Structure 1
Amino acid sequence: MPPPSSTAVTAQLRQLDAHDRRSGESAYLLALCHFRLGDYKSAYEISKYNGYRGIHLNCAYIFAQTCLAIDRYKDGITALEKSRGLWSHTSNFGKHTATARASNPDSASVLCLLGKLYKAYDDKKKAIINFEEALKANPFMWDAFTALCDMGVSVRTQNIFKLNDVLIDGLSFDQPPGILVEQKDNGAINPIDKKTSRSAAFDTMDPFDSQRTGASSETLIGGNFMSAGSGENDFMSKIRAARSKMPAAPEPVHDLLESPTVANLDPNSSRVTLGVEPPQAPTRKTRNSQPPDHGSLEAAPKTHRLTTKRSQKAQEEHASEPNLAILRASAAPVSVTDRKRTVSGHPVQPRPQPEEPPQRRSARLFRGTNGKASSGATAVGAAAARELKKARPQISRILRPNSSSASVGRTVSGNRKPLEENGGMDVDQAEVPRIKEAPPQPPVIKSAEPEMVKIEETLKHLIELLKKFGSGYLALSQYRSMDALAAYMSLPRAHQETPWVLSQLGRAHYEQASYAEAEKYYRELRRLAPTRLEDMEVYSTILWFLKRETDLSFLAHELVDSSWHSPQAWCALGNAWSLSRDHEQALRCFKRATQLNPKFAYAFTLQGHEHVSNEEYEKALTAYRLAISADRRHYNAYYGIGRVYEKLGSYDKAYTHFHSASIINPTNAVLICCIGNVLEKQRQIVQALQYFSKATELAPHAAQTRYKKARALLALNQLDAAQKELEVLKTLAPDEATVHFLLGKLYKTLNDKGSAVRHFTIALNLDPKASQQIKEAIESLEDDDSFDDSMMA
């Protein structure tokens, strides 16, 4: 049968809500259904009544989530603050199981949501406070940690990812099997202290104490404690009243090798339930039985005194060895003869089989320890022998009819002779069957200590693993690409090959402008997870820088076919159009991406780049500012605004925005180089050289940065340093015309006319479009008086 559709479920929940308007739970379920269907406005309206006032925690939580989705941040903040008394100081850690989850959100999840609302409300201070409190309550709250990193907060992973008191308390709640749990009337479950509950459980399980065993079986039903007056009918109350008037029955002596009533330790349950044996056959009634005389119960017979003393002595012996039954059951199986016991508890000696014709079974049954038949024994037939083989409940003689008499025998075939004393036991208790099944093995009680040690070791391993993930994410959020690469490469091999880690490694190389290396990681990512959309806009930009037009077009069509409504797919398609020089089509794609997700900052930035290519500077500034409003730490938008102002000649404004971008990303060599360019255009060559040198240290293999540094050195007449930079640059970019042209100018200054003319000629061959400028440089050499023909050699 197919599952019901979402529409049918919504209709049923709506009927449930209409049936009971006052119930906050039905409103929560209906709002949750609409929220998961993406109908945020309906979820907002349904959960508003109970959620905004903070009277129902689940409604307030789902109401705040809808407020975050529909940009009503203040309402969500108000709802969570009003319901603070319902979720503060609560923790669900350790309370989830494989099949059950905690129904209400705890303080860590609510604080994380509250931090997201404050962040969207542009209250950075309160957002940071709530995220920090969420991590204190639960260090595994990854959303709170990533939010702090994305906000640029300097955090310490060593202080965040560690075992704290909250985690230990959560583990202590997870009681091992066999620990009692008290359930109150309102449904709340309170665990009993671990140290006292274990002893209490074993006291309840004492099979040798009939009073405590009976009390436990009456009061502990289904793992819940019940009082005598809680929900009982009149019939049961009368029975209890009658029982209370009767004197306590003496405890019978139990055979240790029998399977007594022991505690049932269910491994799938956290409660102790007493195992109840199958009901046994009722006791036989004698033909001359009389109604029970309660008055005769007060005077116990002499034979019973002996039984009571022996039972008390056995109890004292068993009290010193509470686990004797378990130890004996776990030992090697014993023979049938060894399991036979006398009344005093001694094993029965094996008897040799007689060679003469066998005697009557009645004589064998009631033979005493001295080998003689009991004088009061009664003959038992074959049918009675079969009946006697069955297990009989061990009932004290004081509770039997006509217990005031010395003893009463069984009547078979009209024989009504009374039995003589047989050690205070009657036939049922003295008789030992020939064949006796081995008692079932009791469940082994496992100690909770090794399990707790395993759980703590697992938590420590997870914490250490999370530290590495957190260190890498924090370093990448601060654009320390080398530190991020080191952290991610320290992960186990299995984790390094996951799509998320591959994406992080590719992004780290992208921030270092190592586009070829980044492309390898993203290519492997596409092979492992072809449907992944996250960071695909970065991959398309990498292919744009590498001029891989075919690969970029194939990626864009794959993404659009797999997810038409994803902004990443439209960004990739826009980059493909941009690489083919169709800027209008690219702009349409980028605008479509911003329509799908108005908070997708990277799409606004790409849109601004296309406006700059079309020399539409005002539109470009508008797109960059929208990107900054979507993400305050999106340094690409600051860089775009700086480029626009640099093209417009506003070098002061360009310097301000380039500097703002470099504060966010201090390790980006391109931003440092852009600041040097603006200073160079303002004739501040010395300050510009400092930025060029810093950019060269950050990106030693960047040809453009070294070229600008060499040009600044040449302008400052530092010829030796400029020559070293140009020699390195000639190795990095041997086919670059500007490099050879700058080398020609350097050798002209050094009066090496031959080398100057050679490099000017190479530059002319590499870039014929700059022939006019290169010819003028060569003509300036010919006008020099020191010119000779040897320069052509």
Structure 2
Amino acid sequence: MSGLTSCAVYEKYCNRLFLNSNATFLCERLEAEEEKSASSLQWLASCYLRQGEAKRAYTVLEGRASTDELRYLLAIACLKLEKPHEAEIALLPDRNLRVLGPKAGTTALLSVVPQGAAGFYALGEACRQTHRREAAIGYMELSLQQDPLMWVAFEALCAMGAEPDANTYFKIKQGHPVIDVHAVCGPSYFDAAQVPTPATQRKPSEQVGSTRRLLDFGSTDASSTQKPPSKIPRTHFNQTREEKVQESSSDNNYQGVVSTLLLVLSKLGTARAALAKNDIKRALSSLHSLSPRHFETGWVQHALGRCHFEAADYEAAVDALRSMRRVEPHRIKGLELLSTALWHLKDEVELCYLSRAAVDFDPRAPESWCCAGNCLSLQKEHDAAVRCFQRAIALDPTFAYAFTLCGHEYAANDDLDHALAMYRHALRADDRHYNAWYGIGAIHFRQEKFDLAEYHFQRALSLNPQSSVLHCHIGMTHHANGNFDQALAYLRQAAELEPKNPQARFQTANVLISLDHCEEALAELSIVADYAPREASVHFLMGKVCKKLDRLSEAMMHFTYALDLQPKDNNLIKSAIDRLEEPDIDEEEKF
């Protein structure tokens, strides 16, 4: 096995057989044999990264990254170790280019940044970790310009709020091949008889010395010496005419596949960008324009469920996310949304089953523990739910949604200080996570700090302008501050965005009562009663309005309904019944 190389070991045991530990052991032996060899170091570091041992890869590469490949691997190790500044230096050693960033121009950067599109993406990630949004966006755009199949760069642009145009990026540019077909689909590196190695390309006199650098497993048999290849490697010069025609046909078929893939990516990218802007209608339109073979996949059903979830249509969200589980039972991502939707629908049975199945399937996934936390939250076990959400956070400290859910549980437990801390942690993980902005606003509203509440609600609304819930809470804040006209504007817009949202109409009725528009208030409350006929607070408020309108029999009827629906808290209702024929006095009666 004197012809064994680090590249061949990595190709066989990592790429084809997934025996990463075996590849690592052999590459360590080869690295010891081939002293100061950049090639052996490259494959050894690749093995470490494949095994998730970024620290070891960083250690062996530090100070030895002399080639483009080694610089790129060092940058990847630095990013995994949260050392973005060192990653940027590895990719861009020139300080002037680092200062200019994407403004330095594609030509200048391509001459320095290793691995082209992937190198630009790594630079963008380094800038994201150091909170340099504009530079990160510039590098991600350069990555997509170099390779339209860099979907991760497009998703990063959406996550940063860059509003990328999918139709611009996902297309084949003339004279710019997406992937080298022969490099990807050609003969295996391990087939020494087919592919000429650097050793076989040298002169015979040079090969004798070079074989000393290849690992010899102690064989002393003379027959073990390297033999010339039994087949002459095919090149473009000795190919037959039929082979050239066949290769040309293969290339054409490949380009057709890539064109089809880019068309699909364009539709998916349009949906992803629209979802990032919470443009639900456009996102749904793009997703439904996909062919059935792509529509019935886990990613698309997850995106469809998220669209309905953001629109607060929880029944449709559950249906889509159930379809996601049906087509991809192994998919964990998205289950946190499914569990939250089931929480809103109060479906305790299915939520319990989901949380148990998720934790059993993958106990190391943060989404699994979010499901468990939502299940315990629905059962009013807030302390146990907090522990589940904290476990999700420990598994993935960048998972903003887990911080937000944990904050909701602290808020439900009236532990507002810890709730604020959780929401702020969520914003550190993702400053565009509007749920955390909403959570902070809700806490300030409870503390009657209405100006602070309005600020945080407005920040959330800027990220999700189509949210009926956010419009409703801003309206409530204006009402508390005495800005009745602005309150009505926001609340009516909330009702238009989501006609089935009874909270918006209920709060509209409160504002109308403050303005002494009792007939309009009663009309709004009648609509709310149709959506929530068993809500005692609605009937109690309707009773108060009927009393103001001097409809005492109707007032008595609604007070009685409220008393039947809420027998535990009956003192306020009984007091209102006792004073039914007395004139109203100025006092705050809150049910």
* Aligned equivalents of 1:738, 1:657: Cα separation in 2: 28
2:236 paired with 1:271: yes
Q: 1:463 to 1:744 in 2, by over 3 A?
A: same
* Aligned equivalents of 1:141, 1:123: Cα separation in 2: 21
Amino acid at match of 1:19: E
Matches within 5 A, 1:131-150: 131-150=140-159
2:85 aligned residue: 74
1:585 aligned residue: 384
Deviations 1:469-489 (A, max 9, x none): 011111111112222111111
Matches within 5 A, 1:553-568: 553-568=352-367
* Aligned equivalents of 2:173, 2:397: Cα separation in 1: 40
* Aligned equivalents of 1:59, 1:631: Cα separation in 2: 31
The TM-score with structure 1 as length reference comes to 0.61
2:476 paired with 1:677: yes
The question of whether the paired residues in 2 share the 8 Å contact of 1:91 and 1:108 is answered with no
1:25 aligned residue: 39
The question of whether the paired residues in 1 share the 8 Å contact of 2:457 and 2:470 is answered with yes
Amino acid at match of 1:735: R
Pick aligned residue for 2:291 from 492, 502, 508: 492
What is the CA-CA distance between 1:76 and the residue it aligns to? 0.5
The question of whether the paired residues in 1 share the 8 Å contact of 2:445 and 2:453 is answered with yes
Q: 1:503 to 1:447 in 2, by over 3 A?
A: closer
Matches within 5 A, 1:143-292: 143-165=152-174, 168-170=175-177, 271-273=236-238
The question of whether the paired residues in 1 share the 8 Å contact of 2:61 and 2:70 is answered with yes
The structure showing larger relative contact order (alpha-carbon pairs under 8 Å, at least 6 residues apart) is 2
Deviations 1:518-564 (A, max 9, x none): 11111222222222111221211112212222222221221221212
* Aligned equivalents of 1:443, 1:625: Cα separation in 2: 66
Pick aligned residue for 2:60 from 28, 42, 46: 46
* Aligned equivalents of 1:713, 1:475: Cα separation in 2: 36
* Aligned equivalents of 1:617, 1:704: Cα separation in 2: 23
What is the CA-CA distance between 1:90 and the residue it aligns to? 12
What is the CA-CA distance between 1:137 and the residue it aligns to? 1.3
Q: Which has the larger radius of gyration?
A: 1
Matches within 5 A, 1:534-683: 534-683=333-482
What is the CA-CA distance between 1:721 and the residue it aligns to? 3.2
Pick aligned residue for 2:128 from 111, 119, 126: 119
Please give the secondary structure, in 1, of the residue aligned with 2:421: helix
Deviations 1:735-785 (A, max 9, x none): 222222222233333333332222222222222234332333334432369
**Larger CA deviation: 442-451 vs 674-683:** 442-451
Pick aligned residue for 1:56 from 67, 71, 78: 67
What is the CA-CA distance between 1:91 and the residue it aligns to? 13
Please give the secondary structure, in 1, of the residue aligned with 2:570: helix
Deviations 1:330-379 (A, max 9, x none): xxxxxxxxxxxxxxxxxxxxxxxxxxxxxxxxxxxxxxxxxxxxxxxxxx
What is the CA-CA distance between 1:663 and the residue it aligns to? 1.1
Please give the secondary structure, in 1, of the residue aligned with 2:466: coil
* Aligned equivalents of 1:5, 1:454: Cα separation in 2: 33
Please give the secondary structure, in 1, of the residue aligned with 2:47: helix
The question of whether the paired residues in 2 share the 8 Å contact of 1:136 and 1:160 is answered with yes
**Larger CA deviation: 140-149 vs 611-620:** 611-620
Q: 1:37 to 1:457 in 2, by over 3 A?
A: closer
Amino acid at match of 1:117: A
2:486 paired with 1:477: no
Amino acid at match of 2:516: N
* Aligned equivalents of 1:734, 1:642: Cα separation in 2: 29
1:297 aligned residue: none
Q: 1:605 to 1:4 in 2, by over 3 A?
A: closer
Please give the secondary structure, in 1, of the residue aligned with 2:262: helix
Q: 1:154 to 1:749 in 2, by over 3 A?
A: same
1:193 aligned residue: none
The question of whether the paired residues in 2 share the 8 Å contact of 1:223 and 1:272 is answered with no
Contiguous gaps of at least 5 residues in structure 1: 93-103, 176-221, 225-229, 234-267, 276-441, 786-793
Matches within 5 A, 1:454-533: 457-533=256-332
What is the CA-CA distance between 1:159 and the residue it aligns to? 2.2
What is the CA-CA distance between 1:700 and the residue it aligns to? 0.8
Amino acid at match of 1:170: P
Q: 1:512 to 1:47 in 2, by over 3 A?
A: same
Pick aligned residue for 1:695 from 494, 500, 507: 494
The TM-score with structure 2 as length reference comes to 0.80
Pick aligned residue for 1:750 from 544, 549, 558: 549
Amino acid at match of 1:657: H
The question of whether the paired residues in 2 share the 8 Å contact of 1:91 and 1:107 is answered with no
Please give the secondary structure, in 2, of the residue aligned with 1:523: helix
* Aligned equivalents of 1:571, 1:734: Cα separation in 2: 32
The question of whether the paired residues in 2 share the 8 Å contact of 1:609 and 1:640 is answered with yes
Please give the secondary structure, in 1, of the residue aligned with 2:238: strand
Please give the secondary structure, in 1, of the residue aligned with 2:568: helix
* Aligned equivalents of 2:449, 2:179: Cα separation in 1: 65
2:117 aligned residue: 108
The question of whether the paired residues in 2 share the 8 Å contact of 1:91 and 1:170 is answered with no
Amino acid at match of 2:83: R
The question of whether the paired residues in 2 share the 8 Å contact of 1:642 and 1:653 is answered with yes
1:704 aligned residue: 503
Pick aligned residue for 2:27 from 13, 21, 27: 13
The question of whether the paired residues in 2 share the 8 Å contact of 1:703 and 1:733 is answered with yes
Deviations 1:604-643 (A, max 9, x none): 1122122212222211111111111111111111111112
The question of whether the paired residues in 2 share the 8 Å contact of 1:91 and 1:106 is answered with no
* Aligned equivalents of 2:302, 2:256: Cα separation in 1: 30
Please give the secondary structure, in 2, of the residue aligned with 1:273: coil
2:76 paired with 1:65: yes
2:567 paired with 1:768: yes
Amino acid at match of 2:143: A
Q: 1:566 to 1:456 in 2, by over 3 A?
A: closer
Q: 1:534 to 1:173 in 2, by over 3 A?
A: closer
Amino acid at match of 2:467: N
What is the CA-CA distance between 1:655 and the residue it aligns to? 1.5
Amino acid at match of 1:29: W
Identical aligned residues as a percent: 34
Deviations 1:29-70 (A, max 9, x none): 11111111111100111122233xxx3111111111111111
Q: CA RMSD in A?
A: 3.3
* Aligned equivalents of 1:447, 1:539: Cα separation in 2: 49
Please give the secondary structure, in 2, of the residue aligned with 1:581: coil
The question of whether the paired residues in 2 share the 8 Å contact of 1:608 and 1:640 is answered with yes
The question of whether the paired residues in 1 share the 8 Å contact of 2:181 and 2:251 is answered with no
What is the CA-CA distance between 1:723 and the residue it aligns to? 3.5
* Aligned equivalents of 1:152, 1:171: Cα separation in 2: 26
Amino acid at match of 2:572: Q
The question of whether the paired residues in 2 share the 8 Å contact of 1:88 and 1:106 is answered with no
